[in-house]
Structure 1
Amino acid sequence: MDSSTLFFLIIALIAGGLSGAALNTWLQARKSKKYVSTQEASVLIERIEKVFKVVMAEGYFTEIYNYQNDKNIWNLINDKKKALIIAKAKVLVGYDFGKMKFHRPDGERKLVIDFFPAPEILSIDTDYKFYDIEQGWLNRFQSDDYTAILNEAKQTMNEKAMESDLPRIAGNQVQLMIFQLAASMNWSIEMKLPDGNVALLREFSHYRTLEAEIDSLDGRKE
């Protein structure tokens, strides 16, 4: 084999190797494109509002919610679906001072409150987990079912929070804050609330007896 033939063979081998490497890279890139996913997120701010809301109490709740739906098919088959939902929530109760009405008499270091809002739930942060989900042949869970279940569970959580001692604790806290703040500035507070407002606030001024019932496994109350 002469030198020119050997040189040509070396060039051919190098070119073939480079072509093979390029082909392999192209195939790998094409193959990887099949598994590339693009994620995009858009955050839209609808509006921004100035608020004067103050949290005075927070509570942690756990709710066990049993859901069952029976569907009678042609009066022959009772097709049912059910689920056990355990909901945990952090509830913040306080006051929206934007709803308070007051005035200051001329020349006096005094604040007269004409209307004081009732305590309310300012925020509720919930976490739901579904257990023991059972579905029938035709009566199956749809996305609307989950939405309705979560809305009902959240509504129940709101009601239980307002029936607890959180509003009363918030009421005591806000009175302490207002009168101590006024005293530190040598101001006085005078409450001139209408009867309806007094009656509304009185509902949140006493402890509520906690009543709890435990469902046994056979469905009876213990």
Structure 2
Amino acid sequence: MAVRRNSNETALKNVLIPIIQAIGRSGKLIYLLLFIVIAVVAYKIFNSKSESSTVEYNSSLIEKQIKNVGKLVVTEGHFSEVLTYKDQKKYLMDLVSFEKKALIIVNADVTVAYDLREIKYDLDEKNKTVSVLNIPKEEIKISPNIEYYDVEQSTLNPFTGDDYNKVNKIVRANLAKKIEKSKLKINAKNRLISELYNILILTNTMGWKLEYNGEELTKTSVKKVAL
């Protein structure tokens, strides 16, 4: 009887041990499969968040770059001129006249500025495109220093506030003509284009492109853009 019992126990062990081992192996397999599924899901979630934050970071950085330019004084110039102002008043049917005159020396500082806070642009995150829609007109500021020499006047025809206002208008008109004939505005535009070029470099570095007037700007075309 003892021999039969031992043989039965041995047979039972031979049956149970492979089953237990199989269960153990299958349990490890289940854990392995579960780990792989979790890893794949985590990878997709991580990549999705990373891509979203990168686009948001790029667009905000480009927008900050444009805003940081602020009000840009691009070019300063100095102009000088000398003129003579004369005025005459006549009385008694032009038989008697009283003249006033002065030698006027003008030194003027002129600045040409673009207020890029008013620039209009659009950020297309989907297509990674910065579109410059409009650039504001340049602001020309004339600061003349007017000095009067060899002033001649009379009691019946003295220098008054009207004379000084008239001289100021004449001076500014003459300076405006000189500015138009000079290279001051051209130099200002070149400086502005260089600022666009800096934005172009930033956008290219981040994989974006810069457009103006519906055309993509490149390193060569940015210097030829008509503002």
Q: Quick check: TM above 0.5?
A: yes
Structure 2 spans left out of the alignment, 5+ residues: 1-68, 215-224
Q: What is the rounded CA distance, in whole Å, between the counterparts of 2:78 and 2:72 in structure 1?
A: 18
Q: Kindly provide the amino acid, as one letter, of the partner of residue 188 in structure 1.
A: K
Q: What is the rounded CA distance, in whole Å, between the counterparts of 2:84 and 2:102 in structure 1?
A: 6
CA deviation digits over 1:93-112, x for unaligned, max 9?
12122332221123243211
**1:149 and 2:170 aligned:** no
Q: What is the rounded CA distance, in whole Å, between the counterparts of 2:97 and 2:128 in structure 1?
A: 72
**1:100 and 2:88 aligned:** no
Partner of 1:46: none
Deviation at 1:55, TM superposition (A): 1.0
Q: Which moved more, 1:128-137 or 1:149-158?
A: 149-158
Aligned length: 145
Deviation at 1:83, TM superposition (A): 1.0
Structure 1 spans left out of the alignment, 5+ residues: 1-50, 194-200, 206-222
Q: Which runs of 4+ in 1 moved over 6 A?
A: none
TM-score (norm 2): 0.56
CA deviation digits over 1:142-180, x for unaligned, max 9?
133223322331343234224321111111111112112
Please point out which of 137, 145, 149 is paired with 1:127: 145
Please point out which of 72, 75, 79 is paired with 2:90: 72
**1:91 and 2:110 aligned:** yes
TM-score (norm 1): 0.57
Partner of 1:20: none
**1:140 and 2:158 aligned:** yes
RMSD of aligned C-alpha atoms? 2.5
Gap change, CA 1:162 and 1:53, over 3 Å in 2: farther
CA deviation digits over 1:170-222, x for unaligned, max 9?
111111121123313524321117xxxxxxx95xx8xxxxxxxxxxxxxxxxx
Partner of 1:19: none
Please point out which of 82, 104, 112 is paired with 2:101: 82
Larger Rg, first or second structure (1 or 2): 2
SS of the residue 1:104 aligns to: strand
Mapping of residues 194-209 of structure 1, within 5 Å:
none
Deviation at 1:137, TM superposition (A): 4.3
Q: Kindly provide the amino acid, as one letter, of the partner of residue 119 in structure 1.
A: E
Q: Kindly provide the amino acid, as one letter, of the partner of residue 133 in structure 1.
A: V
Gap change, CA 1:65 and 1:99, over 3 Å in 2: farther
* Larger helix share, 1 or 2: 2
Q: What is the rounded CA distance, in whole Å, between the counterparts of 1:88 and 1:167 in structure 2?
A: 19
**1:115 and 2:134 aligned:** yes
